[in-house]
Amino acid sequence: MSNAVGGLCAVGPGLLVLLLCHLVCLFLTPEPAFGEVNQLGGVFVNGRPLPNAIRLRIVELAQLGIRPCDISRQLRVSHGCVSKILARYNETGSILPGAIGGSKPRVTTPTVVKHIRTYKQRDPGIFAWEIRDRLLADGVCDKFNLPSVSSISRILRNKIGNLSQQSQYESGKPAPHPPPQPTLPYNHLYSYPTSKVPTPPGMPTLPGHMAMHRIWPSSHSVTDILGIRSITEQQISDSPSFPSTKLEEWSAINRSNFSSASSPLVNGMDKPHLEPQAKYTQTPSGLPTVNSYVTAPSIPPYHPPTQVSPYMGYSATTSAYVTGPTWPPASGSALSPHSCDIASPLAFKSMSVNRDAIHPVAASAL
C-alpha cells in the first residue's frame, strides 16, 4: 500500500512519462516501419495483435451500433478480424488478444506429483487411472488440468521411482506453503486463454473455483479499460501481493502487449520487451499507430494524451467487472456509465459526450 502515496505522485510523473512516451512515439511511429498494408489500406504487423486502441475502438463502435462491415472499413481492419475481436469480446468480455507463445500449461506440477507419490506410497499397487480418479476426487486437479493416465504413468516411472529413494521432492522443498490450492502455479497464468475451452458455448460461467480461471477479463473488460481507471490507480502494483495477480496475468497474456499497453513505468523493468516495440509499432500504449490505422476523416480527434490513459489502466487492478458483453447496449453503451472524467479516453469521451458527434461517424461509414 505504499502505493497510496505513489498513486498521488504517479500523476505527476505519469504525465511526464506520457509526454516522454509521446516523444518516443513520434520517433518510433510516424508510420509503422515494419507494417504491411491490407486490402483496406490499413497497416498491420503480421503475426502480431492489433494495437489495443484499435481493438477497443472496434468494440466501441460496435456498441454504438455500427455494423462490423462498417467498422472494418472505417478502421481499415479486415472484417475477419473485426468479427473475431467482437466474437471474443462477446464471449469473454475482454478486448485483449490471447496469450501468444509459450508452452501449454504444465499439469504435472510439483503439487500433483507430490500427491501422486503419496497415493503410490499408500498403495503401491495403485493403477495410474486410479490415481487419476483420486486426483480428481480429492480436488487436486479439476477436469481441465487432470493429467492423462500416460502422464501419470510417466511420473510414476520417471519421478516417483527415483524420488522414492530419497524423497528429494519433499525434503528439497519443505513446501513452506503446503499446497494451499490445488490450483497450479502455471495455470493461473494460462487458464484464461483457454479461450478455446473456457466457456463452452452456452455455459456462461464456470462453476466454483473454475471461476478463478476467468478473472482475467475483469481488468480488461472494456468497461474497465474505458473506465476507466483513474491515473492514480494505475500504479502498476509493484507489490507482489494481491493486485499483482492481475498484473501477472496481464504479462502472461502477452508480454509484448503488456508492455505496450501498460504504463511506461513498466519499462524500467521490462527492457527486453521494449525491443519488440521498437521493432513493431505496437508502441507503448499502442496508440500512435492508431492514427495510421484510423481513417482520418471519420474518426474524431484521437488525441494521444488522453488515449494513453485507458491503457495505463490495463496494468491496474480491477474494480468493476463486466461479465460480458452487455452487448447490444440497452441504453447507451455499457461503457458510458463510467464518468469519463479523468482517465477516460478522449476517443470514448467524445463518443459518449457528444454522442451526436459520433453519428456522423457512423453516417460517414454508411
Residues that bind DNA (CB under 7 A): 38-40, 42, 44-50, 55, 67-70, 77-81, 83-88, 97-104, 106, 186, 193-196, 254-256, 273, 276, 279-280
CA dist 79 and 284 (Å) reads 25
CA dist 350 and 366 (Å) reads 20
Q: CA of 278: how far to CAs of 102, 251, 271, 313, in Å?
A: 22, 18, 11, 22
CA dist 288 and 21 (Å) reads 10
We find the least distance from the C-beta atom of residue 302 to DNA, in angstroms, to be 18
**How is residue 308 written as a grid cell?**
494513453
Nearest to DNA of 45, 308 (CB atom):
45
Helix (H, G, I), strand (E, B) or coil at 202: coil
Return the amino acid letter for 227: G
Closest CA to 118 of 167, 162, 76: 167
84 with 317: CB under 8 angstroms?
A: no
CA dist 17 and 21 (Å) reads 6
Angle at 255 between CA 250 and CA 256, to 5 degrees: 125
The number of angstroms, rounded, from the C-alpha of 182 to the middle of its chain's C-alpha atoms is: 23
We find the least distance from the C-beta atom of residue 282 to DNA, in angstroms, to be 8
The size of the chain, in residues, is 366
We find the least distance from the C-beta atom of residue 319 to DNA, in angstroms, to be 24
We find the least distance from the C-beta atom of residue 101 to DNA, in angstroms, to be 2
86 with 62: CB under 8 angstroms?
A: yes
We find the least distance from the C-beta atom of residue 337 to DNA, in angstroms, to be 26
Nearest to DNA of 44, 216 (CB atom):
44
CA dist 270 and 266 (Å) reads 6
Nearest to DNA of 279, 303 (CB atom):
279
Nearest to DNA of 14, 286 (CB atom):
286
We find the least distance from the C-beta atom of residue 255 to DNA, in angstroms, to be 3
We find the least distance from the C-beta atom of residue 108 to DNA, in angstroms, to be 10
We find the least distance from the C-beta atom of residue 82 to DNA, in angstroms, to be 7
If you write DSSP's letter for every residue of 89-105 in order, what string do you get? HHHHSB-S----SS-PP
Nearest to DNA of 95, 347 (CB atom):
95
**How is residue 349 written as a grid cell?**
469521451
Nearest to DNA of 84, 154 (CB atom):
84
Nearest to DNA of 100, 353 (CB atom):
100
Nearest to DNA of 96, 160 (CB atom):
96
